[in-house]
Every structure is written in structure tokens, then in C-alpha cells.
Structure 1
Amino acid sequence: MRIDCRNLECPEPIIRTKDALEKLKIGDMLEVIVNDIAPKENIKRFLNTNNISFETNENGGELIFVITKTNEIQNKETEQYNCQISPNSKTEKIIYLNEDTAGSGEVGKNLLSKFLGAILNVENKPKAIICVNNAVFMTTDRSHVSYQVLKNLEANGIEIYSCGSCLEAYKIVDKLSIGKITNAYEVMDMLTKYEAIKL
């Protein structure tokens, strides 16, 4: 069975998914197509809550759930699922930089600079960039090839964070001139709240 839940107002997609699953026998397959963040997240939660197996296939802005009915639905309540996804959802991204290169040597430094520079051209921009280890040189060394790139990203509303312990280890705390100092707790808090991209 296949149901098309594209462009349906919440909570209609999750209600249709539940109704379709109730009609199926154990072992039957169901495909559900959605194209909005709220139904994507809510259907995942509903299936996980009911221990129902599924896979997902991304196709542009659309997501196809391929669901196998492995057991009967135990939790049929749909009112608990929010139509507005929290701004702290995993759909929002941060970039975690452990090095000041994307590869080795000067080529790697230039490549990372180009990757970071391309951020301003993408639609789904990251909320923040976290710099740890020698990536903190990008926020302290004005001659670094990525320094001005990060400065531009900050000017465009992207938060830049540098690891305080790393700045202290390299003895460059006083040279920080982009973004803010952060600590281990704040870094872990962001990594658990947002989807992290490592370059």
C-alpha cells in the first residue's frame, strides 16, 4: 500500500499513516510520502514509539517511509505530536571543526576555506561553527586563509565558537577576534541538540 501525504496540513499525515497501518496485516508493507519537516519527524516518532520497523529514502525535499508492520499499534494517540517542530530540532545543523584543514597541507587549508565560503550560498545554513584543537587558529590568526571567511559568516548571523581549553593550550586566548569562547559542556550541549557536520 502507498499513501501520498505531501502538502497535507498537520496532523493529517500521521493520522493517515496510523489508519493505513491498522488496516494492514503483520508483515505487510506501507509506503508514505511526505515533504514537510513536521510530518517527517512525527511519523518517525510514532513508528519508533510503536516499535514498527521502517526505512527512509530521501528524494529531493521529499521523504519516503518504507514501513513493515511488525506488530499491532499499541499507542494510537496522535494528539501528542506537535505540528510545529522545535527550533532546536535535529534538522538544524552545526559545523564541528577539529582541524583548520580539510585534508593535508596548504591544499587542505584552501579547500576548507572554500567549503566554508560556500555556506553563504546554501539555503539551509548552519546555526553555528565550533572550532576545537588547531581549528582555533582560524579565529585568532588574521593571516589564516579561513579567517576572513569566518568573519563574513559571523557578520551574516552564523555563531562562531572556539574551544577555551584549546586557546589556553596554544596560549592564544588574547588573540581571539572572531566569535566567542566556549567550553566542553556547551560543545556537548550543542552536539546533542543539533545535527553535527564534520569537515
Structure 2
Amino acid sequence: MIKVNAIGDNCPIPVIKTKKAMKELTGPDTIEVLVDNEIAVQNVTKMAQSSGGKVTSEKKAEKEYRILIEMEGAPAAEEAEEEVSCTPDKRGNTIVVVSSDKMGSGNEELGKVLMKSFLFAVTQLEELPKTMLFYNGGATLTTEESDSLEDLKNLEAQGVEIMTCGTCLDYYGLKEKLAVGTVTNMYSIVETMEQASKVIRP
């Protein structure tokens, strides 16, 4: 694994350091990039994906983010020479509300597969949501046994606020197993939805 420490670096330095590490690859390898803000996560993620990398990221602590980039080798020359730019925050004022661990009605197993695909698709949006709210059955998706934890941690690392209903976690006995985001209450859920410019419900 190649390690890149870009904590304390302003854009575009984290992207430049990561591109340099990519150019030095001689075969399949993983690059670990450490940064201290969500915008750096967004910029490094965008560049790495455009260079053919598989990217995951997570928030380790306040002002500490870890990005893992799986590469098959050095990017093609034209990709490596792409101009480095600092893009603005990708988050809009859209709220995603998830009230079940399944998407749609009908077959339960299919519904769970569709929900997992939906949450992954959110990570690929050009404009990320500002907040994702999880309540009722959706509260299980932010806990330790969730198949979507990697995608949700990726979104959180890019600045998306992940909020899960505390009453719901208590009901399912999962409050101690929350693995991403924070616990919220009904007042905050209503307030967040009321202030949103758009609400998406899968």
C-alpha cells in the first residue's frame, strides 16, 4: 500500500500528491490518502474515479479522513496529465429520506437488493445530498450489520450528514450498534425536511 499524507494541505495539493503516487504505480496497488476536510475528499475522489480507481472513504475523526484508492496500475498518460482543479462543495440542499431497509413493495429480498443499489447510486451523484435521514426500518441501514455501511461512510466522508432516528434505534435494540452518522430526534427530522429544497424518498 502506498500512503499519501495530505493533512494540512489546501487544494489542489492533496490531488497533486495523489496523482504523483498514481504515476509511480508499476502494477495493481492501493493508495491510502489522509486529508483533513470534506472538500479534499470530494476532489481526490473525483480525480481518482476519472483515472480508473475504485474509491472508498471514511471519516476517522474530526478533521481526519481516509481515502482508499484501488488501482490496476498507473493511469493512462492523458488521464495523468489532466488539469488539476479545485471544485466547489458538491453538496446541494437535497435531503434523502430512507424509511425502510427495502425499496418498493413486493419481494423482500429484491427490495433489499434495490435499496443497496440505491444507496450506492447516491454516492455517484454529481451533486450530493446535504443530509440523509434514516428512520423506522431504514434505521437498520446505519448499524453494524448493514451491507451499505461502506457507501454511507463514503458519503459521510464527503460531508453528507447521516442522521438516524434515536427512537427507532431504541425500538430495534440497535442504539449501541450505530456505525455511521449521528442519532437524531423527530423535531430535527421535521426541521431538516422543512428546510430542504428537495426531498428524495426511495
TM-score by length of 1: 0.51
Aligned to 1:50: none
Identity of aligned residues (%): 35
Instruction: Tell me what 1:117 maps to.
Output: 120
Q: Find out whether 1:169 has 2:184 as its counterpart.
A: no
CA distance in 2, matches of 1:187, 1:123: 25
Deviation at 1:179, TM superposition (A): 0.2
Matched residue SS, 1:181: strand
Answer yes or no: is 1:127 the counterpart of 2:96: no
Distance in 1 of aligned mates of 2:109 and 2:140: 14
Give aligned pairs, total: 108
Runs of 4+, deviation exceeding 3 Å: none
- Aligned-partner Cα distance in 2 for 1:190–1:172: 23
Matched, 1:99 2:100: yes
Matching of residues 16-165 of structure 1 within 5 Å? 92-103=93-104, 104-142=107-145, 144-165=146-167
Instruction: Report if aligned partners of 1:109, 1:145 keep a CA contact under 8 Å in 2.
Output: no
Please give the TM-score of this superposition, normalised by the length of structure 2.
Answer: 0.51
Aligned to 1:51: none
Q: Offset of 1:154 from its aligned partner?
A: 1.3
Contact 1:140 1:172 in 2 (8 A): yes
Displacement of 1:119 after TM fit?
Answer: 1.8
User: What is the one-letter code of the residue matched to 2:101?
Assistant: D
Deviations 1:110-150 (A, max 9, x none): 111111111222222110110000111111133x2222221
Q: Amino acid of the residue matched to residue 94 of structure 1?
A: I
Structure 2 unaligned spans of 5+: 1-91
SS of 1:95's equivalent in the other structure is strand
Q: SS at 2:162's partner residue?
A: strand
Q: Which runs of 5+ in 1 are unaligned?
A: 1-90
Name the aligned partner's letter for residue 196 of structure 1: V
* Residues 126, 158 of structure 1: 8 Å contact kept: yes
Q: Is the 8 A contact 1:132 1:163 kept in 2?
A: yes
What secondary structure is seen at the aligned counterpart in 1 of 2:139?
helix
* Larger Cα-atom Rg: 1
Contact 2:123 2:151 in 1 (8 A): no
RMSD: 1.4
1:98 CA displacement: 0.6
